[in-house]
Amino acid sequence: MICQDCKKREAQVHLTQIINNEKLSLSLCKECAAARGFHSPLDNHPFPLAEILSGLAGDTPPVKNSPPGEEMVCKGCGLTFEQFTRQGRFGCGDCYSAFRSRLESIMRKIHGSSLHRGRIPEFSKFEKSEQALPIQEEERLQSELATAIKTEDFEKAVELRDKLKAVREKLMMEDTPN
């Protein structure tokens, strides 16, 4: 959509005003919107994710494998972990792997676990993947274990507990980097 003022640039600001049950819509480019005095309330206030992450990451111990003074750097884009905590955004998809050891402790602080334990949407491709099977198996065994304990079938409960432990160990091994 073209700016309704200058009719030259792409409209990036869309305003809608309703006065006396009449709707007035205006689409402007950033320059024309600024000239009219319309400014985004978020322009001068960066998203606090960077502050939250730096607060959480500040408590995490340095990575065991890195020598003192050497910081973590993503090989894909060159982003350092310190830059990530300041800006609150990754530079590329490889950042997840590069900063994995530090991210796990942050995820544990936020969610209580570094593994996803929630439900998986039915429409998700992940649900049918090989990676999802151990998680679904763990949920099924947990449910069966609760039922066995409730019905006082303790022999079955012991068997389910052992299977559950094996599945959890498998999940932990898959989650640890090689």
Q: How many CB atoms lie within 10 A of CB 173?
A: 10
**CA dist., res. 28 & res. 11, Å (int):** 5
Provide the pLDDT for residue 157. Answer: 93
Provide the pLDDT for residue 63. Answer: 44
- Residue 19, token pair as written in the block: 């006065």
166, part of any domain: yes
Number of helices (H) and strands (E) in the chain: give both, helices first. Answer: 7, 2
| Residues 57 and 102 occupy one common structural domain | yes
117, part of any domain: no
User: How high does pLDDT run on average in the chain?
Assistant: 76
Instruction: Provide the number of structural domains found in the chain.
Output: 3
Provide the pLDDT for residue 158. Answer: 94
154, part of any domain: yes
> Closest by alpha carbon to 2, among 13, 37, 38?
13
Percentage of the chain modeled with pLDDT above 70? 66
Residue where a domain terminates, one of 60, 84, 111: 111
Comparison of pLDDT for 118 and 64, the residue scoring more: 118
Range name among 16-20, 50-54, 63-67 with the lowest pLDDT average: 63-67
Residue where a domain terminates, one of 111, 137, 152: 111
pLDDT exceeds 50 at position 64 = no
pLDDT exceeds 80 at position 55 = no
Bridge partner list, 73: 80
What is the rounded (10 degree) CA torsion for 74, 78, 79, 80? 70
Comparison of pLDDT for 135 and 167, the residue scoring more: 167
pLDDT band at 57 (very low <50, low <70, confident <90, very high): low
- Residue 119, token pair as written in the block: 């439900």
| Residues 37 and 53 occupy one common structural domain | no
Q: What is the pLDDT of residues 126-162, one digit of tens each?
A: 545 555 567 778 888 888 999 999 999 999 999 999 9
**Which domain covers residue 103, as residue numbers?**
49-111
